[in-house]
Amino acid sequence: MKFLQIKNLSFNYVSHDEETGQKTMYKALDNVSLDIEQGSFVAILGHNGSGKSTLAKHLSGILQGYEGEVLVEGISTTDEKNIWNIRKTVGTVFQNPDNQLVATVVEDDVAFGPENLGIEREEIKKRIDFALKAVNMEDFRYSQTSSLSGGQKQRVAIAGILAMEPKCIVLDEPTAMLDPQGRKEVIQTIKKLNKEKGITIILITHYMEEVIDADRLIVMEKGKVVLDDTPLNVFKNVEQIRELKLDVPEAMEIIYSLNKLGHNIEMDSLSIEDLAKKLIDIGFKDNTYEEVIQTHNNQDEEIIKLQNIRHIYSENTVFEKLALDNINLTINKGDFLGIIGHTGSGKSTLIQIFNALIKPTTGNVYINRQEIYHNNKPLKNIRQKVGVVFQYPEYQLFEETVYKDVAFAPTNMGLDKEEIDKRVREALDTVFIDESYYNKSPFELSGGEKRRVAIAGILAMKPDVLVFDELTAGLDPYGREEMLYQIKNMKDTTIVLVSHSMDDVSKTCNKVVVLNKGNMMLNDVVTKVFENGKMLESIGLDIPKCSKLFHILNEKGYNFNTNILTIDECVKILDKVLNKC
């Protein structure tokens, strides 16, 4: 049965330059036609700006195309009198759960939607019970929403939609800001709702592994649908997927790379677990151990030092919360330090201590061997030396144009116009924002584009240390790789990367700090940290997928080095072993 019908849908965004009065039109959707069956699980991929989120907003009538229409069970979203019923039928969950939670207590938040629908109190109680059970949040019914982890908040947001009893849920990058455990929780919930409750799921994501169990995968480019098939059939088109600035699951990438070296492995494995089974079935002839030598850029010139840091929020009140406990950490010039930990582990508190946005409850902070709070030194210079790009870039954008936003910090530093212009252009060029964006409002940009502009605003200050809180969240695979490549090659800059992506950390960082409940569990070179797979998983984290492949193989009796962190290393070793088969 056709649940959703999208007919010849087109939509334009229009930006207005207040200085010149010129209007610029951007086509976000271009004659899109799709039918989506009731009870199906449909995933949508596309690079930033391809039209995914714009399409999602049309499905519940948040936006309406200037051409074409969307029908929900035969009812058009273009008719205002239908919108109430359509939004009861199609619920939408967005990327940031904090923007969707409206009440202070979980139960009240889930009740909000049904109450606005005029549902009877007894029926609302039943719906709350059902929704919380469906997302495994019954035990948090009376918890404060502010105390929940990111994954828990997102599950509550889903429960709030479920309580309205929609037939379809549209999820627009619901896991972009979540730690590995939170991502697993949300995806498991989505699958459960689809399989057990028959709810139609439309999932928009940049994580390839999240779509492998979908019934159907749609790929968008420049507002058009360019691929529409099963995930397996779509991902077999490796070169085309790359041309679309996307990626394929790492299992498929490994097989594709091995086949380019002359092997003939069937491309039908989308998960690392399936790939491990396939390799075992091929039959390695002997056990293999391969030593991987890591090189590190560590100049041993201390730039940041934390000594006995402890931080308590709302100390001596009923809301007292220990965020960090006995943190001792040294960051040297030229380091590329990764900081990982589950949501709520203390990562954001830690990086705000780096540049004096938060003063620790106890302990000492040294920048270039100078204690920053000694003799009440002015902190402005510290904040120019340590630049922080936070998790939600839209909170850092406020000017009317992209150019003005990036120019704000250099202007406040008292630089002349020529130097300001030079820094703005260099910074925007570094994050791949060209001149066509200079006069656009930053609020009209996609999530990934906003992140790039926010980063450019910090780059324009030319700080000694750059701290990125979830740098690649919201970016498509191509954008992720570009951004990581750029910051990895920034000369004379010390980088701190807070990330929920173990693969990003393993590819770029030379050292890693692991936080858990405010405590520093590990502080070592990247290969040593990811040797602790079981411990990392026990605290809600994960290990890089290539490393996971060799862990699985070793459990079957092989003797691989599990410090294989990149696809190139992985393919090199597997090629060597397969040539012996």
**Over its length of 581 residues, how does the chain's per-residue pLDDT go in tens digits?**
789 999 999 999 887 666 667 777 888 999 999 999 999 999 999 998 899 999 999 998 999 888 999 999 999 998 889 998 898 899 999 878 888 899 999 999 999 999 998 899 999 999 999 899 888 899 999 999 987 877 788 889 999 999 998 999 999 988 887 788 888 888 998 999 999 989 999 999 999 999 999 999 999 999 999 999 999 999 999 999 999 999 999 999 999 999 999 999 999 999 999 999 999 988 776 555 454 444 444 456 899 999 999 999 989 888 788 999 999 999 999 999 999 998 889 998 999 999 899 999 999 999 989 899 987 777 877 888 898 888 776 778 999 999 999 999 999 999 999 999 999 999 999 888 999 999 999 988 876 788 789 889 988 998 999 999 888 877 788 888 888 887 887 777 899 999 989 999 998 999 999 999 999 999 999 999 998 988 999 998 999 999 999 999 999 888 888 888 889 999 999 998 888 76
CA atoms within 13 A on the CB side of 121: 0
CB atoms within 10 A of CB 47: 21
Instruction: List 71's β-bridge partners, or say none.
Output: 5, 76
What is residue 20's DSSP assignment? T
- Please list, in sequence order, all residues whose beta carbon lies within 8 angstroms of the beta carbon of residue 63, skipping any fewer than 6 positions away: 11, 54, 57
The helix or strand, by DSSP H or E, that contains position 518, with its residue range, turns out to be none
Query: Cα angle at 224 between 218 and 230, to 5 degrees?
Result: 15
Helices 121-134, 150-162: inter-axial angle, 10-degree rounding: 140
- Counted residue by residue, the chain has a size of 581
> E strands, 499-563, where?
511-516, 519-525
CB atoms within 10 A of CB 290: 17
- C-alpha–C-alpha distance, residues 225 and 69, integer Å: 16
Does the global pTM surpass 0.95? no
